[in-house]
Structure 1
C-alpha cells in the first residue's frame, strides 16, 4: 500500500498552551520553532504515524523574564533537554472529523503516554495547487508528570502556577 508524507506548514500552524497564574488568570504561550510530519496510507489517516519536536529555547509567552525562567532548570532545563518530542502509537477515528491521538510525549527526558482528541478539518487544495490537511489538537497534561515542579505559594492561599497545562494546537500539513 502506498504511503503519503505530510509536512507541517509552520506559517499556518501554532503550538499553543495556557496555564493558570495565581489561580485566576491564564498565561498563554507557544513554541516558535518546531517540526512535525505525518505518514499516512494515501488519504486515509486511520493509524497515521505522527511525529513532532519543538526547540524549548523557542518558548514564547510574551515576557522575556518568564521565558528565560521556563527555559531554566526550574522548568524545561534546556541545558540538558533542549527538545520536546512526541511520537504517535495510534491515530484512531472516532467518527467523521474526530480522532483520538495516542503516543509518547517526552519532556525533560521523561517519556509518558498521552491521549488527545483531534478534530480533523479535512483535505483541501490551496490556490497554488498544494493539498493540505488541518488538525486541531486539544487536551490537558499535568506538568509535574514530566518533572516541571517549580511553584510558589501565594499569600491568599493556593499557588502561583497551576499544575494543569491546557493545549491548543492548530496544525496545517502539506502533502509532499
Structure 2
C-alpha cells in the first residue's frame, strides 16, 4: 500500500495550553508557529508516523511581559532550546473516532514519553477539493518533569504558577498529492 503524507493546515489548527495562576484561575496560551506531518499507509491512521515541532519564540499568552518570561531561562530557555518537539512512537485505534497517541515530548533538552487520548474526526473533502483529517488532543503534563521549575511563593500560601499544564490541541491536516 502506498504511503500518504499529510501536512498541517495552520489556519485551522491551534496548539493551546492552560496553567493555573495564583492557584485559582487559568491563564491560556498557544504557540503561533509550528510544523507537523503525518505519514500513513493509504488513508489508515493506525500506526501513523506523527512528528510535531513548535517554535518557543512564538509562545503567546496575550501578555508581552509574561511571554518574554516564558521564553527566558526561567522557563523554556528559547535562546538555547528554540523548539519543542514531539515524535509519536505509537498511534493506536481504540474504537471508531478514538485513538491513543504515545510519543517522546522534548522540551528544553529533556525528552519524556507521554500518552494522550485523541479524537479522530475522520476524513472529508473540503469545498475546494482538498482531502482533510482532524485530530483533537487533550491531556495534562507536569511542567517540572521538563525542568520548567520557576515559581514564586504567595504570602497567602501556595504558588504563583501551577505545575500542571493542560493541553488543548486542535489539528487539521491536508492530504498531499
Could you tell me which residue of structure 1 aligns to residue 29 of structure 2?
Answer: 29
SS in 2 for 1:70: helix
Gaps of 5+ in 2: none
Q: Does 1:138 align with 2:120?
A: no
> TM-score, normalised on structure 1?
0.99
Q: Distance in 2 between matches of 1:57 and 1:105?
A: 18
| 1:118-143 Cα shifts (integer Å, max 9, x gaps) | 00011010000000000000000000
| 1:20-42 Cα shifts (integer Å, max 9, x gaps) | 00000000000000000000011
Gaps of 5+ in 1: none
| Matched length | 176
Q: Distance in 1 between matches of 2:48 and 2:74?
A: 35
Could you tell me which residue of structure 2 aligns to residue 70 of structure 1?
Answer: 70
Could you tell me which residue of structure 1 aligns to residue 43 of structure 2?
Answer: 43
> TM-score, normalised on structure 2?
0.99
Could you tell me which residue of structure 2 aligns to residue 119 of structure 1?
Answer: 119
SS in 2 for 1:57: helix
